[in-house]
Amino acid sequence: MGLLSGKTALITGASKGIGRAIAIRYAQEGANVAFTYLSSVEKGQALENELAAFGIQAKGYRSDASDFKAAEELVNSVVADFGSLDILVNNAGITRDNLLMRMSEEAWDEVIGVNLKSCFNTVKAATRTMMKAKAGSIINITSVVGIKGNAGQANYAASKSGIIGFTKSVALELGSRNIRCNAVAPGFIETEMTAVLDEKTVQGWRDGIPMKRGGQPEEVANACVFLGSDMSSYISGQVLQVDGAMLT
Ligand code: NAP
């Protein structure tokens, strides 16, 4: 018996990086896993087979997290295909970094849409099912940047701070329905999103972290296993930093 046996989870943006690690850890813990992707179609389809090999029900859906209507259709499909929805992980995210002076309106809107509005979209669509079940765990992936701010990432930091305010409000509104809502704030996690950065910059970041290394996607996924499971049944409205004491 895994920590998530019998539960159905929906994870957005699982074709790579942290989302992919969450999907795999959830499947290992016995959850049935629905997940989304957008541009990485082949990777998404490959993940579906990889997850099914754990003996759970798995299905990938191509769905744009920033699209309100698409999120509603997605959640309806998941509930129809899986019969329930117990855990929602809002992980889909992008960066469009630039100094404020050079940041375009498109770069602002795109980041807010994919990172922040996406949480509103799926939570709004999922709460009906969770309220009926009188149970649910919602996990929103924010960032230490959403707590501290970051030069060159005003759009990203704003979207991640917004997620924290949203998470706490959902926890307050839906607590009486036994729906929990928490945020996970990764620090520097080594994924494809960070692999595009130059090695010297990356080493500089590693050196500045008290634990002297970047985190692995699985280390964020493990926090999501805890928050998705009944192990955290009285924890809601929290922001759990997974950052090697980077922001302490
Ligand atoms: P990543 O490797 O770039 O993966 C991002 C995922 O999001 C991909 O699966 C991508 O799918 C999906 N995605 C992007 N736009 C989407 C959209 N419009 N609709 C649906 N899915 C979409 O990034 P990551 O590093 O794993 O980051 C995952 C989350 O953790 C993000 O929210 C990020 O902000 C957060 N985070 C990361 C770090 C870090 O150090 N890596 C630190 C703090 C927070 P497709 O490729 O199929 O489009």
Average pLDDT, the chain: 97
What is the structure's pLDDT at 43? Answer: 98
State residue 192's pLDDT score. 80
pLDDT given at position 197: 85
User: Is residue 189 packed enough to be buried (19+ CB in 10 Å), middle (13-18) or exposed (0-12)?
Assistant: buried
Was 158 annotated as part of a binding site? yes
pTM for the model stands at 0.98
Q: Look at ligand 1, atom 12, and give the residue with the nearest C-alpha.
A: 13
| 147-204 pLDDT per residue, tens | 999 999 999 999 999 999 999 999 999 999 999 999 999 999 998 877 888 999 999 9
Is residue 38 in contact with ligand 1, taking CB distance under 6 Å?
A: yes
Measured from the CB, is residue 153 less than 6 Å from ligand 1? no
pLDDT at position 196 is 85
Question: Could you read off the pLDDT of 121-149 as tens digits, one per residue?
Answer: 999 999 999 999 999 999 999 999 999 99
How far lies 101's CA from each of 145, 154, 156, 160, in Å?
19, 11, 15, 20
Q: Would the CA dihedral through 231, 164, 186, 55 be positive or negative?
A: positive
Structure tokens at 185: 């704030």
pLDDT single digits (tens) 60-75: 999 999 999 999 999 9
Over 90: is that where the pLDDT of 235 sits? yes
For the chain, what are the domain ranges?
Answer: 8-242
pLDDT at residue number 166: 99
Q: Is the CB of 157 under 6 A from ligand 1?
A: no
| Ligand 1 pocket test, candidate residues 10, 36, 37, most atoms within 8 A of CB | 37
Q: Is 157 annotated as a binding residue?
A: yes
Q: What percent of the chain has pLDDT over 70?
A: 100
What pLDDT score was predicted for residue 219?
98
Active site residues: 156
Nearest-5° Cα angle at 134, 131 to 135: 100
Average pLDDT over residues 81-104: 98
Q: Is domain 8-242 given the CATH code 3.30.110.70 in the classification?
A: no
